Structure 1
Amino acid sequence: MVLRECDRDGCCYPAARGFGSCMLCSKHWCFKHAEFEDHQCPSEESDPDVYFAAYTVAKKSHLSALLDKINIEALRPVASDARNGVKCWIPAFDANNDPAFRVDLASEQSGGQNCHLDIEFEDGVVWIVLLSFEDPLLPPASAQRHIFLSEVATLKFLAQTSVPIPRVHSYQLEYPDNPVGTSYVLMSKLEGSPLDWNEASPQQRIKVMEQLADIFLELEKYPIWLMGSPIPSDFLDNEIKVGGFVREPWFETPERGLGHFSTLEAAYIAIINWHLQAFDGREIAKLPVDNYLSFKWRVIDWEFASFEAKDLAFSSPCMMWPVEDFYDGKPNLSDDEIEFAWIFNGRDRLDLAGLVLEGRKWQRYLFFLGGGVPSDKTELEALFQCLRKCFGDDDDNISSYEEWKEAALKLYRDDAILDSLIRDERAKA
């Protein structure tokens, strides 16, 4: 089973994850047909100006289709009933009947996977309704339902803590008995502005880091001993269970994500083995030989590694990483990360400060496992070489990438999957 099949009639290959999905034509192509005459959409590489203009139009078209599904006459009473009959209106629909106005307003309150529309009550209270996007770059509808429920479960779990989060008042999946017409979540709207870390002043960054430290210390009080994603309980509204992972790279099929697992070691070994199978089936198809070899290395290297989930959960958030240095394969920490560690030092939590300072190697490890399979050879070499340095015994004297690859090809010369990938790569060249 795979996440999607290729849309080319008669093709036996799965759609390639990532580059095989096209926003412009809404189709999904395998590693062969994504770049052949079957798929003639402009690409970012061949004609970026035409591509991004068409991408913007297609993105708005998908958002417009989602908004057209909403039965606004049903959504208003659903929200009103959740507030004991207080009347409400929805500006995106009620302030202007122009569909273009509606799409533009929704776009302003959109993220990567969801859009949020304000619901204003006559007593001045404001909620938002969360709606999940439906476009070809996102997981299939079945997987989206699992992601949706996990987001709800996460918010309900956090509601038990002192972490400031929006309260979930009502939600419903898209089913025939859902009068609104699509999946939705009604939740409180928190006051504030979106965080722009790069534009924040040093004083603003420190304020945010102090708040993050508060959140870390609060979440530490609620350990979870299983590896997976939160899912709602079938019985109790406030009870949270742990199910399979709902991150797109870790869905085996539209209905099933990897997991759950009782240990982090079991989770990572399963994730690595799944990637190896995906390379074999051509579901992951960028730089297949190099990426396959790098994942084989990670299986062996895992035998010498040991750490706990807390090492990753309490490492620095990616917004603090020195992004350019990270992609160049440099292991250094940013000034923000060092400041974040000092904040924990100042609270007499040297253990958490240590996790921030020592977290880069595991962040790099998870970066690959979490969907960061590189498609650019230069980027892959830099990232992989740094990963080797992080886990090597002699950081300054590791072999070059080409030397390592030559040795790996010899080591795995009897590997049937590798042999098949090499033959495909030669045929394409």
Structure 2
Amino acid sequence: MMGNQNCHAEITFEDNVKWLARFRLQRTSSPPQEVRDWILRSEAATMTFLQQHTCIPVPKIFEWACESEPGNPLGVGYILMEKLDGSPLDWQVATPLQREKLMQQLADVSLEIEKHPFEAMGSLISREAIHFEVRGLAHQSTFRMGQGPLGPFSSSQEGFQAMLQSYLAMLASGEIGIDPPADIYLAHRFRLDILANHWEDVPSDSQFFLTHPDDKGDHILVNDSFDIVGIIDWEWTHTVSKAEAFCSPCMMWPVAKFYSGSNELAEDELRLAAIFHERGREDLASCIINGRKIQRFLFALGPDSSFTDTETFANLFAGLKRAFKVGDDDWKQWRAMALENWKDDELLLSLVARDRH
């Protein structure tokens, strides 16, 4: 089974027990080996932690090895894990009754995750099978060669600032190849201004919680009765603030409206908030109701921030500004003003000059 970043081979034993062998695909765009090993260690640590300390259904890991380990007979990083019976969830084709059943279960998962807070923002890294530590942001572009992972961080503001500064440096150097680089740089630089001037509107951090990094639906395995039998693909997972950990999954977003710049919540998001309200958890309901701020801030960061459609890029930027109530000028007006305001930014000037050539 071939995905965008991983290959899975099913292993069937003589007694009909089935495992999955998960291999990371290597492409010309793949990160360096040091980063690939770090990602695998983090994924293995996260799944082992969830298996040992929570009731969240995740595949059991039997063995894993990094690409660089001398004793690895395969020469590539791998994870051998339990194969769970179930089909990837397609939220868009689920009926209202099926969605209701799933949302009740997702609320259970959130409440279970909340029982296991961490003291810092970062990624679980396993050096041994039973040893865990918080170490760095779990994102490829925050792992700098020669520097290692950034963090851990005591607040989201501190972590996002380090992440954005890393992105800006890599955009300027060409390490992240995105077109047009100057516009992407400006959008990231703007987020630094949000951190400096508007972050007080986002709830402060005191505890951090694991969150799935790609919650578009197919990470959830369900049976024919729409019971959740497993949650998979935990690579890039890291601990985040409560506001980020418990906002709505992107599979529920009104995609067309979101890309057009609207911050209106979908009916499913409102229903999930109502479920938390019914359970007496107004704090978690508030994370969903007010979640667009953090979602807009994090959407389209780093290597995933390139949009060939300039209108879509402008609409997404407008949605970010609306979420933080920062002006109502359009992209072209704001861009001209930003270039003037940041005319002493040498990294930005180098990108503008590159665009002209």
TM-score range, shorter chain: 0.7 to 0.9
Quick check: 1:341–1:352 contact (8 Å CA) kept in 2?
yes
Per mean C-alpha deviation after superposition, the further-off stretch among 381-390 and 271-280 is: 271-280
TM-score, length basis structure 2 = 0.82
Quick check: 2:137–2:159 contact (8 Å CA) kept in 1?
no
Q: Distance in 2 between matches of 1:155 and 1:139?
A: 22
Offset at 1:384?
A: 0.8
Matched, 1:387 2:290: no
Query: Paired residue for 1:136, among 21, 28, 44?
Result: 28
Quick check: 1:385–1:401 contact (8 Å CA) kept in 2?
yes
Matched, 1:200 2:94: yes
Matched with 1:7 is none
Q: Spell out the pairing of 1:19-418 with structure 2 (5 A cutoff).
A: 109-159=1-51, 160-174=53-67, 175-234=69-128, 237-253=129-145, 256-284=148-176, 285-303=178-196, 304-306=198-200, 307=203, 308=205, 309-369=241-301, 371-376=303-308, 377-392=310-325, 398-418=328-348
What SS does the corresponding residue of 2:304 show, helix, strand or coil?
A: coil
Larger relative contact order (CA 8 Å, sep ≥ 6)? 2
**Higher relative strand content:** 2
Letter in 1 for 2:4: G
Q: Distance in 2 between matches of 1:194 and 1:124?
A: 22
Letter in 1 for 2:194: D
Q: Distance in 1 between matches of 2:152 and 2:4?
A: 25
Offset at 1:335?
A: 1.4
Q: Distance in 2 between matches of 1:239 and 1:283?
A: 33
Quick check: 2:121–2:155 contact (8 Å CA) kept in 1?
yes
Structure 2: 5+ residue stretches without partners: 206-240
Query: How big is each residue's C-alpha offset from its partner over 1:117-163, in whole Å with a ceiling of 9 and x where there is no partner?
Result: 22223333222222222222332332111111111001011011010
What SS does the corresponding residue of 2:12 show, helix, strand or coil?
A: strand
Q: Distance in 2 between matches of 1:329 and 1:259?
A: 32
Return closer, same or farther for 1:173/1:419 CA change in 2, 3 Å cut-off: closer
Return closer, same or farther for 1:178/1:333 CA change in 2, 3 Å cut-off: same
Letter in 2 for 1:241: E
Percent identical among aligned pairs is: 39
Count how many residue pairs are aligned between Structure 1 and Structure 2: 314
Query: How big is each residue's C-alpha offset from its partner over 1:385-419, in whole Å with a ceiling of 9 and x where there is no partner?
Result: 111111116xxx61222221222122122322222
TM-score, length basis structure 1 = 0.69
Greater C-alpha radius of gyration: 1
Query: How big is each residue's C-alpha offset from its partner over 1:16-42, in whole Å with a ceiling of 9 and x where there is no partner?
Result: xxxxxxxxxxxxxxxxxxxxxxxxxxx
Return closer, same or farther for 1:421/1:179 CA change in 2, 3 Å cut-off: closer
